[in-house]
Amino acid sequence: MKYAITGASGPLGRLAAEALLRRVEPEELVLVTRSPDRLADLAARGVNVRAGDFSHPDTLPAAFDGTSELLLISTDAVGARVPQHQAAVSTAARAGVRRIVYTSVPEPTADNPAFVVPDHAATEAALRDSGLRWTVLRNNLYAEYQLDALQHAASSGRYVTNTGAGRAAYVTRADCAAAAAGALVSREVDDTVFDVTGPRAFDAQDMARLAAGLGARPVEVQQLDDDAYTAALVTAGVPEALAGGLTSFGAAIRLGHLGAVSDAVQRLSGAAPAPLETLLPSAAGSASPAELHHR
């Protein structure tokens, strides 16, 4: 059996590779990346590292050759990745891949305002139409992404948001990687959708309490409408396009699209998901926030 991971030199791909290597032998693993040199250490352990670039579909047949189970990590080309994903799916089918495990988002439906939804909905449709077996992992928002906002709130005394009374079941990237590795080796999750979440869902008041625990002052919640929230992010130095994307996720939380909590991490990885609190500097014994990466 050969397992392949795309985007393997990225943050999630690298963690998924390490998680999978705890389950399979190195020679069973194929890592596909635009930057093979970044995985030289894994190649030295016997992993097959192959060059593959979704922007150049002609590189994919050789990258996928001989593999059976493929983890397709969504690319970061938001708005332009649908043809990339579709090319990867069709190439995998021609290469003899049996099943694709895909990293999606919760509730990729027309009423979900998160700006990434159309890309993921289209990719899920391509999987269902491909004739392949598939497993969809709808990863909630990364817990790591919340650290900057929490630390800023601790410093300012205000947790500024547009999430209203909505909740999000933030999940760590490591738990998403462990769930993906478990899904790849499982023979019981064909044609199945999983909501991959942390152990509980947080609303704005919960987040303000976490922020207060980081500093020496109370933290109050300041709710803004979407336009005002986008403007506040831009004023704080966030690029306008990214500010709009962050606002759309806040709206998705407000409308209830990210609040469901599941047992998917436990079921797929065999271990309980880490609570958001474990990432906080006070829990980690450090005053520095965890490094953040684009999803």
In 10 A of CB 113, how many CB atoms?
A: 16
Can you give the pLDDT at residue 282?
61
List the chain domain ranges: 3-139+172-196+260-273
Can you give the pLDDT at residue 265?
98
Report how far residue 114's alpha carbon sits from residue 258's, in angstroms, rounded to the nearest whole number: 10
Amino acid (1-letter code) at residue 252: A
Partners of residue 220 on adjacent β-strands = 158
Report how far residue 99's alpha carbon sits from residue 122's, in angstroms, rounded to the nearest whole number: 18
Report how far residue 50's alpha carbon sits from residue 39's, in angstroms, rounded to the nearest whole number: 10
Pick the CATH number of 3-139+172-196+260-273 from 1.10.10.10, 3.40.50.720, 3.20.20.220, 3.30.70.260: 3.40.50.720
| 65: DSSP letter | T
Can you give the pLDDT at residue 216?
81
Report how far residue 6's alpha carbon sits from residue 64's, in angstroms, rounded to the nearest whole number: 9
Token digits for 279? 């990432």
Among 71, 59, 69, which residue's Cα sits nearest to residue 14? 71
Strands 158-161 and 99-104, by their bridges, are unpaired
Report how far residue 133's alpha carbon sits from residue 111's, in angstroms, rounded to the nearest whole number: 27
How confident is the prediction along the chain (295 residues), in pLDDT tens digits per residue? 899 999 999 999 999 999 999 999 999 999 999 999 999 999 999 999 999 999 999 999 999 999 999 999 999 888 889 999 999 999 999 999 999 999 999 999 999 999 999 999 999 999 999 999 999 999 999 999 999 999 999 999 999 999 999 999 999 999 999 999 999 999 999 999 999 999 999 999 999 999 999 988 999 999 999 999 999 999 999 999 999 999 999 999 999 999 999 999 999 999 999 999 999 986 433 333 333 233 3
Q: What torsion do the CA atoms of 115, 168, 102, 187 make, to the nearest 10 degrees? A: -160
Among 197, 203, 205, which residue's Cα sits nearest to residue 141? 197
CA angle 65–31–278, rounded 5-degree value: 145
CA 169 to chain CA centroid, nearest Å: 13
| 272: DSSP letter | P
Can you give the pLDDT at residue 112?
98
Report how far residue 185's alpha carbon sits from residue 69's, in angstroms, rounded to the nearest whole number: 8
Report how far residue 157's alpha carbon sits from residue 4's, in angstroms, rounded to the nearest whole number: 46
User: What is the full DSSP assignment across 68-127?
Assistant: SEEEEPPPS-TTTHHHHHHHHHHHHHHHT--EEEEEE-S--STT---TTHHHHHHHHHHH
Record the pTM: 0.93
Can you give the pLDDT at residue 80?
87
Q: Which residues have CB under 8 Å from 10's CB, separation 6+?
A: 33, 73, 76, 293
Can you give the pLDDT at residue 289?
32
